[in-house]
Amino acid sequence: MVYENKDAGKDKKIVLMFPGQGSQYIGMGMELALSDSKTSAYFEKASEKLSIDILKIIAGDSKDGTELTQTFFSQVSIFTLSAAINDYIFNDMEKTRKDILCCMGHSLGDYSALLSSGYFNFDNGLEVVARRAEMMEKTNREAEGMMAAIIGITIEEAELHIAESEEDVYLANYNDYKQIVITGLKKNVEKFIVFLTSRSSAKIIPLKVKTASHCPLMKPVSEKLYDYLSKFPAGSLKTDFFSTSEKAFCIEKNIPQVLSGQLIKTINWFESIEYLLKSNAEIFIELGPGKVLSNLVRRISRKNNKEVKIFDTDSLESINNLKNFLIGRS
């Protein structure tokens, strides 16, 4: 594979996972930000750089409390929180860092993963995330998109239903064996949901996302993003980065192509986790809001008869429990 770094991840056990858009919720990370000055400094710096009050948006105190559902605000907020948690846990743990097999993300989470890997620092990572979000919002204003999770059918069944419906919808994420995400224009996704509901007992959950990511509709954004990233000054990978759209470890020179291509390619989460389980990953840590990725890894590891340790960082208690575990392990 053109992107693969065949020397990546040898004899290492820890996988750092970073969530994407849709994982945001009102109040996320507030407990940590209010208790740790270094964490709050991340939000202050991001707010100053973007001329917005991120903590106010996360708290739901701005306007009608719905700003966090908007693409721009959700993406920069998730990135900032993930960066802060990553620093809080790993800044003074260089020995633990040496045990990290890779950093990986789910869609937007790739940018947080690349920050953790050393490719971005916080300032330029935030700048890229903000630019990407602006591009995506502009496309959505021109043609409103929508994404929805479908739970209870396989990829093959979903493909068959899409073909039968003749609606222009696409498979965006393969999250696990019976959980996929569809994407497309809002009007087409809504029609497909009606069609599927009449033919299947699958559970359908509209996502807190207002774009049509990971499909051909994002091609104009993908092309602009590649032009931007190919000229953007970035650092070097200090920790290996695994792409869930390429299902491979990536070398530095291909990252602009991977990140821009990710917008039009399917995120294949469960096969990526299977790959890492076969690489003897033993500890999976989700850094950011929610527990979506942790729960997916739990189901995938059970399906593959693998015993692994799984941590989330969705509360101050879980963050400190993780830090104590890593300190005890080092």
Digit-coded pLDDT (tens) for 96-146: 778 899 999 999 999 999 999 999 999 999 999 999 999 999 988 888 999
Residue matched to tokens 């995120």: 267
The predicted pLDDT at position 10 comes to: 54
Residue 64 above 80 pLDDT?
no
Q: Which of 169, 188, 206 is the last residue before a domain boundary?
A: 206
Q: What is the 3-state secondary structure (H, E, C) of 142-198?
A: HCCEEEEEEECCCHHHHHHHHHHHCCCEEEEEEEECCEEEEEEEHHHHHHHHHHHHC
Residue 238 has pLDDT above 50, yes or no: yes
Last residue of a domain, one of 188, 206, 224: 206
Last residue of a domain, one of 180, 206, 232: 206
Least confident of 55-69, 162-176, 185-199: 55-69
Same-domain status, 29 and 135? yes
What average pLDDT does range 147-159 have in this prediction? 95
284 phi and psi, to 5 degrees?
-115, 125
Q: What pLDDT shows up at residue 8?
A: 52
Does 69 lie in the same domain as 175?
no
User: Are residues 224 and 302 located together in one domain of the fold?
Assistant: yes
Q: At what angle do helices 122-142 and 37-50 cross, to 10 degrees?
A: 50
Q: Do 31 and 133 lie in a common domain?
A: yes
C-alpha span between 91 and 97 (Å, rounded): 9
Q: Where does residue 241 fall: left (phi above 0), alpha (psi -120 to 50 degrees), or beta otherwise?
A: beta
Q: Which residues of 192-228 are buried (b: 16+ CB within 10 A; e: fewer)?
A: bbebbeeeeebebeebebbbbbbbebbeebbebbbeb
More confident site: 66 or 130: 130
Which pLDDT value is given to residue 239? 93
Res 5 pLDDT > 60: no
Which CATH number characterizes residue 67's domain?
3.40.366.10
Look up the pTM and report it: 0.94
Domain assignment of residue 168, given as a range = 145-206
Amino acid at 11: D
Q: Give yes or no: residues 121 and 18 share one domain.
A: yes
Q: Please, is 60 exposed, middle or buried when counting C-beta atoms within 10 Å of its C-beta (0-12, 13-18, 19+)?
A: middle
pLDDT of residue 166: 94
- Asked if residue 313 lies in contact with residue 324, where contact means CB atoms within 8 angstroms, the answer is no
Average pLDDT over residues 298-317: 96
Number of domains present in the structure of the chain? 2
CA nearest to 326, candidates 92, 96, 83, 11: 96
Residue of 23, 16, 9, 4 whose CA lies nearest to 314: 23
Q: Give the Cα-Cα-Cα angle 66, 108, 35 (nearest 5 degrees).
A: 65
For the residues of 192-222, what is the DSSP string, one character each? Answer: HHHHHHTT---EEEE-S--S--SSGGGHHHH
What is the tens place of the pLDDT at every residue in 250-295?
999 999 999 999 999 999 999 999 999 999 999 999 999 999 999 9
Q: How many residues in the chain?
A: 330
In a domain, 155, yes or no: yes
- 155-159, 209-213, 266-270, 310-314: segment of lowest average pLDDT: 209-213
Residue with tokens 């500890």: 283
Per-residue model confidence (pLDDT) at position 95: 66
The answer, yes or no, to whether residue 2 has pLDDT greater than 70, is: no
Residue 241 clears pLDDT 80, i.e. is over it:
yes
127 with 261, same domain? yes
Please determine, for residue 156, whether its predicted confidence score (pLDDT) is greater than 70: yes
What integer best gives the mean pLDDT of the chain?
Answer: 92
Q: How does DSSP classify residue 265?
A: S
* % the chain with pLDDT above 70: 95
Q: What is the pLDDT of residue 63?
A: 67
What's the CA gap between 118 and 121, in Å, rounded?
A: 7
Residues 112 and 61 in one domain: yes
Question: Does one domain contain both 37 and 164?
Answer: no
pLDDT higher at 149 or 6: 149
pLDDT at residue 9 in the model: 47
Q: How confident is the model at residue 1 (pLDDT cuts 50, 70, 90)?
A: very low
